[in-house]
Amino acid sequence: MAVFLARRLVQAVLILLGVAAITFLLLYYLPADPAVLIAGRSATPQMVAAIRHELGLDQPLIMQFLHYVGSLLHGDLGRSYTQKTEVLPLILARLPATLVLMAAGIVVEVALGLTFGIIAAVWRGGFVDRSIMMLSFVGVSSPQFVVALLLLYVFAATLGWFPMSGFGTARHVVLPALTLGVLGAGWYARMVRSAMIEVLRQDYVRTAHAKGLSGRRVVLSHALPNALLPIIAMVGIDIGQFMSGVVVVEAVYGWPGIGQLAWQAIQQVDVPIIMGVTLVSALAIVLGNLLADFIAPFVDPRIRSQ
């Protein structure tokens, strides 16, 4: 186990370095010149050159990159071009909101997905199954923007059950989490359904039924644990995805997450912020997958013995 973890950690560091290098290179070759954007419209070429020098953009690419990685090892993500402030505090300030939404979104989508997936599998082929599959299809193909605005209009603007915008209380998180959850639940429902159908066909399930166990007990205690593995892997992926920011949902609900920061930085070619957010997202994806790998053996003894 220790060897496995150590190997994954080394892999993680290499992945992060690779992500840093690729992002840096891509941003370097963008046609936009950050110094021109900072210097403004009244600047002379001399002023642009002076700012380029201040930012270290007049150095060769490899020096710029080494300098960046050097600072990174000291936990320094650099200073934002447009905000003229440290990048790390900007990201950290938005991290709580991102974490809350990530967790709440995953709870909703897994809860909905499991419930409907199991129901569909148990009554497969029937009207309920077909309705659920139909709904899940609508869910996965609905645009976030539409669903977010719809929920906001009905439950916040019209009914007034929830605040329209902001962050801070439990009531604020309901609609954003519901939007993510409803849209993501379709994937989970479909996956749970097919995994469960697979498992329900197994001999040991038939044995359990034959022993006279209640249907509920067979499904929940005997079949379900074996169908959970793909769900855990998927949660691992979702952690990474939600941590890298859910721009649309954040925008509609005024949610102060990382996505909005990234989106604005991209529009302004604020390279240090783009780099910082990319690295944090990459880290989250790596950690999410690591977590899934780590949990899997506890859920499925077959992996442990391998």
Partner 1 sequence: MNKFAKRMGLAALLATSALVPAKLAFADTPTNGGDIIVTYKDDIATLDPAVGYDWQNWSMINALFSRLVDYKPGTTELGPALADSYDVSDDGKIYTFKLHPGVKFTNGREVTAADVKWSIERAVNPKTQGPGAGFFHSIVGADKMTAGTADTMEGITAVDDHTVKFTLSQPDATFLNVLALNFASVVPKEAVEAANGDFGKHPVGSGAFTLKEWTIGQRLVFQKNADYFVKDRPHVDSFTVEVGQEPLVALLRLQKGEVDIAGDGIPPAKYLEMKKSAEFEGMIVDRQQLETSYVTLNTQVKPFDNAKVRQAVNMAINKDRIVRIINGRATPASQVLPPLMPGYDQNYKGYAYDPEKAKALLAEAGLKDGFSTQIYTSNTDPQPRITQAIQQDLAAIGVKAEIKAVANPNVIAAGGTQGQAPMVWSGGLGWIADFPDPSDFYGPILGCGSAVAGGWNWSWYCNKDIDARGQAADAMPVPAKAEERNKAWAQIFTDIQTNEAPWIPVFNERRVVAKSKRMGGPDEIYIDPTRVIDYEAIYVNK
The site for partner 1, by CB under 8 A, has a size of 58
For partner 1, which residue of 12, 48, 237, 299 counts as binding (CB under 8 A)?
Answer: 48
Shortest CB 43 distance to partner 1, Å: 5
Near partner 1 in 158-197, by CB under 8 A:
164-167
∠ CA 53-56-62 to the nearest 5 degrees?
A: 135
100: DSSP letter: H
Shortest CB 264 distance to partner 1, Å: 6
User: What residues contact 250, with CB distance under 8 A and at least 6 apart?
Assistant: 101, 176, 256, 257, 259, 260
CA 19, distance to chain mean position in Å, is: 17
For partner 1, which residue of 109, 129, 238, 250 counts as binding (CB under 8 A)?
Answer: 250
Nearest to 279 by CA among 10, 40, 98, 22: 22
Q: Tell me: does residue 137 bind partner 1 (CB under 8 A).
A: no
The stretch among 86-94, 123-131, 210-218, 226-234 that binds partner 1 (CB under 8 A) is: 86-94
Shortest CB 205 distance to partner 1, Å: 49
Q: Tell me: does residue 57 bind partner 1 (CB under 8 A).
A: no
User: Among residues 269 and 292, whose Cβ is nearest to partner 1?
Assistant: 269
Name the 3-class secondary structure at 79.
strand
Q: Tell me: does residue 253 bind partner 1 (CB under 8 A).
A: yes
Residues 109, 104: Cα–Cα separation, whole Å? 9
Q: Tell me: does residue 76 bind partner 1 (CB under 8 A).
A: no
User: What residues contact 290, with CB distance under 8 A and at least 6 apart?
Assistant: 8, 9, 12, 236
User: Among residues 35 and 122, whose Cβ is nearest to partner 1?
Assistant: 35
For partner 1, which residue of 44, 141, 305, 306 counts as binding (CB under 8 A)?
Answer: 44
One-character DSSP codes across 163-204 = -SS--SSHHHHHHHHHHHHHHHHHHHHHHHHHHHHHHHTSHH
Q: Tell me: does residue 86 bind partner 1 (CB under 8 A).
A: yes
Q: Tell me: does residue 33 bind partner 1 (CB under 8 A).
A: yes
User: What residues contact 109, with CB distance under 8 A and at least 6 apart?
Assistant: 180, 181, 182, 183, 184, 185, 187, 188, 238
The stretch among 18-26, 83-91, 112-120, 202-210 that binds partner 1 (CB under 8 A) is: 83-91
Q: Are 292 and 303 in contact (CB under 8 A)?
A: no
Q: Tell me: does residue 45 bind partner 1 (CB under 8 A).
A: yes
Interface residues toward partner 1, by CB under 8 A: 30-33, 35-48, 50-51, 53-55, 79, 81-86, 89-90, 93-94, 97, 149, 152-153, 157, 164-167, 250-257, 260-261, 264, 266-269
